Amino acid sequence: MKKYGLLLTALLISVFAFSQNRQLTETVVTSPYFIGSQDVNYDDNSSKMNQFINTNINNENLEAGVVVALFTINDDGSVSNISILNSVSKSTDREVTACLEKSSGLWMPGHVNGKPVAMEKEVHINFTDPNLPSLKDLANMNLERGLSKFQLAEYTSIRYNLTQDQAAKKSARQFEKAIRYLETANKYQPQEPSIIFWQARVYEKAGYELKSADKMNRFNEITSSSYVANTETINIKLQ
């Protein structure tokens, strides 16, 4: 009797596993993509999205840096819920938002098993200024300055003959300066692991526990061997 019970259990497990595998293999997901306007002749040398942004964005009086925008492409190809994940400046962020709003209706929505569904899309828009160093160099300069202020904050009590209260206040000021430099570095290279790590470290030392945890989670995410960046990068040269 026990033998038949084990056989029945094994049979049920096999049926369940087969059912699950069949369900997984039958789920086909297609990501949304930009189709553009039928009235525009697009160049095959770059993506349609890259050409659309470069044509429609007003890049005067904008700042260098990387704007990271997250938005929803609805099942009818319209765009909604635009949010800026990495800010460069208010004017630059507004221009990116306005340009993405213009793209509403020019998207092929994502599909699940042939049915259009709403999906999120992330784009990184690199604004470069020919009169300035590269975004990477700007990021590195601010990273170095931030680390210098971090070291000053760490060793204030050793380097100066201060009371504990005076040392704490001086360290706090140096930590805040380090934070500002690292946030500027992040503006130029938001995906750079070393910048994100040191942001987490400085936030922790300055007492910003939630910000530190958020940055450390991001660091662990992008340095994971299974991480795949599902983003589109667009390059714009400022006038």
Residue 128: per-residue pLDDT: 97
Give dist(CA 15, CA 17) in Å, integer. Answer: 6
What is Dmax (Cα atoms) for the chain? 84
Tell which residue, 114, 97, 142, 94, has the closest CA to residue 27.
114
Question: Residue 13: what pLDDT?
Answer: 56
Q: Residues spanned by CATH 3.30.1150 within the chain?
A: 29-128
Average pLDDT over residues 131-137: 97
Better-predicted residue by pLDDT, 17 or 91:
91
Pick 29-128's CATH classification: 2.40.128, 1.10.3210, 3.30.1150, 2.60.40: 3.30.1150
Give the pLDDT band of residue 145 (cuts 50, 70, 90): very high
Q: Which pLDDT tens digit goes with each residue over 11-31? A: 555 555 555 555 556 789 999
Pair 83, 101: CB distance under 8 Å: no
The rounded percent of the chain whose pLDDT value lies above 70 is 87
Angstrom CA distances, 147 to 104, 150, 153, 205, stand at 42, 5, 10, 13
Position 193 scores a pLDDT of 96
Q: What is the pLDDT of residue 157?
A: 60
CATH 1.25.40 residue spans of the chain: 135-222
Q: What is the pLDDT of residues 172-225, one digit of tens each?
A: 999 999 999 999 999 999 999 999 999 999 999 999 999 999 999 999 999 998
Quick one: three-class SS letters along the chain? CHHHHHHHHHHHHHHHHHHHHHHHHCCCEECCEECCCCCCCCCCCCCHHHHHHHHHCCCCCCCCEEEEEEEEECCCCCEEEEEEEECCCHHHHHHHHHHHHHCCCCEECEEECCEEECEEEEEEEEEECCCCCCHHHHHHHHHHHHHHHHHHHHCHHHHCCCCHHHHHHHHHHHHHHHHHHHHHHHHHCCCCHHHHHHHHHHHHHHCCHHHHHHHHHHHHHHCCCCCCCCCEEEEEECC
Residue 165 has pLDDT above 90, yes or no: no
pLDDT at 39: 78
Chain segment 41-87, per-residue pLDDT in tens: 887 767 899 999 999 999 888 999 999 999 999 999 999 999 999 99
In CATH terms, is domain 135-222 a member of 1.20.120?
no
